[in-house]
Chains A and B, each alone.
Chain A
Amino acid sequence: MEAVIYICLGLLFICGVLAVMLRSLLKSAIALAGASAILAIIMYLLGSVWAGIFELSVCAGLVTVIFVSAISLSNTDKQDLAKLYEDAKRMSALPAILIICGVVLILIAAKTPFMLPAAVPAAETADNFREIFWNHRQVDIWGQVIVVLTGALTVVALFKERE
């Protein structure tokens, strides 16, 4: 199981960096979807099945659809894109930065081994996802409802072509 998690972490990192570094926006969006899918696998491996399903369907699916439609709406010629935004040039320092940060973080981690927090007081007895989500987190569910309604208003307010 550890080995699978390590492989997934590596793939997640690669997908994330590709999403940032790739020159073509379409490929970036696909790399982002890949990162979401791999994150869903990690979630599944850590025992959170429902969150994994959500990540896979909503983030890897819906967000990608949104991005791809936005990209197709604003399609620019490939050469123009490269010349106009100079992404390759402006992003070229990223690998070096990531390597430095990575080395520093690993050194810190090696010096001070990760301390697991002390035993958590058993404040909540229920550890059943269904009960926690629908009963203990009702405020959040109402919050979600309001967020989605606001999202609907957003679509009405921002996406209409002509008034």
Chain B
Amino acid sequence: MSKMEAYVETGMLVVGFLLIVAGCYCLIRTYHLLKIIIGVEVAMKAVTMFVILAGFINGKIALAQAFVITVIVIEVVVAVVAVGLAINLYRIYGNMDIRNLRKLKG
């Protein structure tokens, strides 16, 4: 591998970590249920990129593609479940505020 390509890979790792930080920060700080799911999705984008990057580095890009397609299918179904929960909570409380979720404590 040339030096140039190693820089590209380092750049991808840095951007990926920053996106995960952004997603997790959103997940912790926001009060809106859908915004939490958006934060999670942003972090998932970075993770998908890591898998492809791994395949690119070790020359197993075909295997990495197979992984990523599976990950994408799972990601969508998880998003559907999360949105379903959020909508049901909206039907109960009339808004999507995470501060409603305080029934369980102790």
Contact = CB atoms under 8 A, between A and B. Distances in A.
Direct A–B touching in the complex (beta carbon < 8 Å)? yes
Interface of A: 2, 5-6, 9, 12-13, 16-17, 19-20, 25, 28-29, 32, 35-36, 39, 42-43, 46-51, 54-55, 58-59, 62-63, 66-67, 70-71, 73-74, 76, 84-87, 90-91, 94, 97-98, 101-102, 105-106, 109, 113-114, 116-117, 120, 124, 126-129, 132-133, 136-137, 140, 143-144, 147-148, 150-151, 154-155, 158-159
Chain A to chain B: the 7 pairs with minimum beta-carbon distance, closest first: A158-B84, A151-B77, A51-B68, A129-B62, A20-B26, A51-B65, A133-B66
A85 B43 CA distance: 21
Nearest to A102: B18
A129 B67 CA distance: 11
Nearest to B59: A120
Q: Is the interface of A mostly helix, strand, loop or mixed?
A: helix
A140 B84 contact: no
A20 B68 contact: no
Interface of B: 1, 4-15, 17-19, 21-23, 25-26, 29-32, 34-35, 37-39, 41-42, 45-46, 48-49, 52-53, 55-70, 72-77, 79-81, 83-88, 90, 95-97
A114 B62 contact: no
A121 B70 CA distance: 25
A114 B10 contact: yes
A116 B5 CA distance: 10
A94 B22 contact: yes
B57 A116 contact: yes
A98 B49 contact: no
Interface of B is mostly: helix
Contacts of A49: 65
A97 B21 contact: yes
A43 B31 contact: no
Given A20-B39, A129-B65, A158-B87, 15 more contacts: A13-B18, A54-B69, A63-B79, A66-B76, A67-B34, A67-B83, A70-B83, A87-B30, A94-B25, A94-B26, A101-B17, A105-B17, A127-B59, A140-B67, A144-B74
A137 B73 contact: no
A154 B84 CA distance: 8
